[in-house]
Structure 1
């Protein structure tokens, strides 16, 4: 019973994080009209770190040991700087469709790294759920290539790199959760992520100006991205990975394109065709497949045999 409650809490946390990130693109679409990508990312990390640091101090959680500093630096660099940066670059060079397809390869890489780095066992249900969810994403976003040429090729390579590095982040966060709370992991990883983003932001200023700083709605968007989409969602993702196996939790990553497309329809008036509903149903079925407790599956099997 305790394991079932723990798994349910993990599923809710992972589903919440993926849903927040799916809806984040609606807000980001507005903010990026005025603030360039790495500057917006830096602002997200600044706001997110301020909120999380206040919570860490208030709760009196144990600070990282000096021997683990490299772990937090690695999570911040690989996950919060390289992965998100490659996603920005790849989407800009390629297309949103290819971005959704290629970054959704993360769960497959998470399963591989969870096996090699954490020793998590593979089974048919995990593999089948990732395969189903991948098919669902392909149905939702379509199979258009989004163009051709070296620019798109470089963009697609960057997007694939984003998928691989996000998988490494998820596995490293899962391993760090053995010693530290998700709040501490998220706080210090965001700190290092923001630090590594700073040079890229300064370099970006030489080519892309920041505008619209007199718009209150823009600052509300930045606050939302920092507090909810960064501090809140990263914490929920790391919390979920503490409660369930990384290879199981990886499937919830696929909820992002479904939520993003739905909110795009609801808020921005974007068109949704039959492919959205078919693909969304396949993705939800994959999430249910990996979420059903194995004991329940054995009971059902026993009843059929009886």
Structure 2
């Protein structure tokens, strides 16, 4: 199987897993403050991934020592992506709503294409521009444009920051994947993000309580930690390792489609013709860019 096909599968799965994240995080944030939830999410994910990393290393033998520049790159990825971007995402979602969060952060692929041009020297081709336009149009059709920016101005602004910083993460993960495994990148970057989040979490708990009034909260935290963090972060990083970052970014658009579908399936939200029309535009954008000839 071609690397690009495996990469496409990994990226599609990651975006799909994130599809239900906004609904889950919006519910859990009513009981647990943002930085504390991010910290819980990372401690669960790190323990889960580090256990797997140790098992893989034991089976494969002693790994080579990482250079200082590799550690610095992992710190940067953990800071800009897993600390800043995810914190912005949670805070922005809490101040606005899940619908707005899903729409605004769907701008991430456009930022990835731009950053990939300057950091990775990937060309901005006509095919990428057309694909990004079609997929963006599809997202707008699926979710709609009624995001109440006036009512949720600060939340919306923070969510834009989440989109920009996640794009930076994606580009630098591609840089790191040239020397490190996706499992190592994900595990150690999450560890550094955990360390960076700890002071904010301790400060936040001085004025906010944590309430476990329902088993759904526990399940929500476990989903965010194991599924949408450990699992999806690894799949996203693996997919970017196998594909051009500008092309791989288009798979991010599956997130709002899956989120809308899960809203219909689990929350009895209605799916109208816009869902299917917009979904067709998104699929068309991904197909156009995925079937271009590789290097």
Shorter-chain TM-score bucket reads over 0.9
Superposition TM-score, scaled by structure 1 size: 0.89
Q: CA deviation at 1:63?
A: 5.1
Q: CA deviation at 1:176?
A: 0.2
Question: Which stretches of structure 1, 4 residues or more, deviate above 4 A after TM superposition?
Answer: none
Match of 1:17 in 2: 14
Q: CA deviation at 1:20?
A: 0.3
CA distance in 2, matches of 1:29, 1:98: 11
Match of 1:298 in 2: none
User: Does 2:268 correspond to 1:269?
Assistant: yes
Q: Per-residue CA shift, 1:254-305, capped at 9, x if unaligned?
A: 111100110011011112222112111111111111111427xxxxxxxxxx
Give the secondary-structure state (helix, strand or coil) at the position aligned to 1:105: helix
Contact 2:14 2:236 in 1 (8 A): yes
Contact 2:141 2:274 in 1 (8 A): yes
CA distance in 2, matches of 1:23, 1:192: 25
Match of 2:53 in 1: 56
CA distance in 2, matches of 1:206, 1:270: 37
Q: CA deviation at 1:39?
A: 1.3
Equivalent residue for 1:103, pick from 102, 105, 116: 105
CA RMSD of aligned residues (A): 1.8
Contact 1:92 1:155 in 2 (8 A): yes
Q: Please, which moves more after superposition, 282-291 or 171-180? A: 282-291
Contact 2:22 2:102 in 1 (8 A): no
CA distance in 1, matches of 2:100, 2:26: 17
| Structure 1: tracts of 5 or more residues without a match | 296-306
Match of 2:60 in 1: none
Q: Which aligned pairs between 1:154-233 and structure 2 lie closer than 5 A?
A: 154-212=154-212, 215-233=214-232
Contact 2:8 2:239 in 1 (8 A): yes
User: Does 2:84 correspond to 1:76?
Assistant: no
Residues 1:241 and 1:164: Cα distance change in structure 2 (over 3 Å): same
Q: Across the two proteins, how many residue pairs are aligned to each other?
A: 289
Match of 2:134 in 1: 132
Q: Please, which moves more after superposition, 106-115 or 34-43? A: 34-43
Q: CA deviation at 1:48?
A: 0.6
Superposition TM-score, scaled by structure 2 size: 0.92
Residues 1:89 and 1:220: Cα distance change in structure 2 (over 3 Å): closer
Q: Please, which moves more after superposition, 70-79 or 94-103? A: 94-103
Q: Per-residue CA shift, 1:125-160, capped at 9, x if unaligned?
A: 1111111111111111111141526xx332222111
CA distance in 1, matches of 2:74, 2:237: 13
CA distance in 1, matches of 2:203, 2:53: 32
Contact 2:105 2:160 in 1 (8 A): yes
Equivalent residue for 1:44, pick from 41, 45, 58: 41
CA distance in 2, matches of 1:153, 1:127: 29
